[in-house]
């Protein structure tokens, strides 16, 4: 092989590497255009999602009784995002899932200089998300307070609690036996979410719009590689072992919830599920297969119609 051939081959390999890196689209994605999640509503995707979920009679009954809430964001083409929901604006008790709102509030306070960024705070944030540690979560709630959490969630810049849209993420109780309650004004819940607003938080993180690009990247790092392997993670570790997972879940009695951003070569989506059922854990595990079936079909859809 002569010099020109070697040079040509190296050039080809370099171009291939550049294209591969570009295809991976490291998070957060920088974009000059950003549309609110609800403006990406895809009727065809939603129709297919509802039809697939309703094939299961027990799931259909949960949906009809508003004990099952699902939000799905198709990110396989970031220029043509599709959003679909089932009872997505129905606020439900969500156990530990709203700890993502505590993460957001603490990071916002750090960014504004209200809270000092220390190794102890970072450790608690990590424990709160990766292991859902209640003691660490309570320390973070006490650090910022209920009113500041509410203020950040109601912020007009990134509204994650909107009374006119069914509510959203809410934290109104420490993850401890002692302490006053600060229930949400709509349903009086202490730890609540709508699947839409949980998905909306991840959506803003994907594009670096939660506080700013740097803080979004830091929050994604904290959410990455969940250490609790149940619910969505149980199935995703089998079907997509190489995908990056950013995740927070919750369970208490019959209330089960999970939220995940899946970012891989063949899978890029946000999925949130809130279930009120004694079988909620298993239902959430089983959701991945039908949802991915819907996503594969969605690549042939025209969401502008």
Q: For residues 70-98, give the mean pLDDT.
A: 97
Would you place residue 9 in the very low, low, confident or very high pLDDT band (cuts 50, 70, 90)? low
Q: What's the pLDDT at 26? A: 84
Q: How confident is the model at residue 1 (pLDDT cuts 50, 70, 90)?
A: low
Alpha-carbon gap, residue 183 to 274, rounded angstroms: 19
For residue 156, tell me if it sits in a domain. Answer: yes
Q: Is residue 264 part of a domain?
A: no
**Does residue 18 fall inside a structural domain?**
no
The Cα 267–Cα 271 span in angstroms is 12
Q: How confident is the model at residue 32 (pLDDT cuts 50, 70, 90)?
A: confident
Q: Is residue 300 part of a domain?
A: no
Determine the pLDDT at residue 31: 85
In a domain, 47, yes or no: no
CA angle at residue 91 from 66 to 160, to 5 degrees? 145
* Structural domain contains residue 231: yes
Residue 33 has pLDDT above 50, yes or no: yes
Q: How many CB atoms lie within 10 A of CB 300?
A: 7
| The pLDDT of residue 7 is above 50 | no
Q: Please indicate, yes or no, if residue 41 is contained in any of the structural domains.
A: no
**Residue that wins the pLDDT comparison between 5 and 152:** 152
* pLDDT tens track for 250-286: 999 999 999 999 999 999 999 999 999 999 999 999 9
Q: 189-233, pLDDT tens digit by residue?
A: 999 999 999 999 999 999 999 999 999 999 999 999 998 899 999
Q: What is the CATH number of the domain that holds 232?
A: 3.40.710.10
* Number of compact structural domains in the chain: 1
pTM for the model stands at 0.91
Which residue shows structure tokens 């799905």? 72
152, part of any domain: yes
Mean of the per-residue pLDDT values of the chain: 92
**Structural domain for 137, as ranges:** 86-174+182-259
């Amino acid at each position: 092989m002569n010099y020109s051939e070697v040079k040509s081959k190296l050039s080809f390999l370099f171009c291939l590497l550049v294209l591969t890196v570009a295809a991976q689209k490291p998070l957060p994605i920088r974009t000059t255009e950003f549309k609110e999640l609800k403006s990406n509503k895809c009727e065809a995707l939603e129709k297919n999602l509802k039809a697939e979920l309703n094939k299961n009679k027990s799931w259909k009954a949960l949906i009809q009784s508003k004990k099952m809430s699902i939000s799905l964001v198709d990110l396989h083409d970031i220029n043509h995002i599709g959003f679909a929901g089932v009872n997505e604006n129905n606020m439900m008790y969500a156990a530990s899932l709203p700890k993502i709102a505590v993460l957001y509030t603490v990071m916002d306070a750090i960014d504004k200089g209200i809270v000092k960024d220390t190794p102890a705070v970072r450790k608690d944030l990590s424990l709160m998300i990766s292991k859902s540690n209640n003691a660490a979560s309570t320390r973070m709630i006490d650090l910022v307070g209920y009113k500041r959490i509410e203020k950040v969630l109601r912020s007009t810049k990134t509204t994650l609690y909107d009374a006119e849209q069914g509510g959203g993420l809410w934290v109104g109780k420490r993850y401890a036996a002692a302490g006053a309650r600060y229930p949400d004004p709509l349903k009086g819940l202490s730890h609540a979410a709508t699947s839409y607003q949980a998905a909306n938080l991840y959506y803003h993180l994907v594009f670096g719009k939660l506080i700013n690009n740097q803080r979004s990247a830091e929050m994604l790092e904290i959410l990455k590689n969940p250490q609790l392997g149940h619910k969505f993670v149980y199935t995703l570790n089998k079907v997509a072992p190489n995908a990056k997972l950013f995740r927070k879940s919750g369970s208490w009695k019959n209330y089960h919830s999970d939220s995940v951003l899946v970012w891989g070569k063949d899978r890029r989506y946000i999925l949130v599920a809130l279930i009120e059922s004694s079988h909620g854990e298993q239902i959430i595990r089983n959701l991945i297969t039908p949802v991915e079936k819907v996503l594969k079909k969605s690549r042939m859809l025209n969401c502008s119609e």
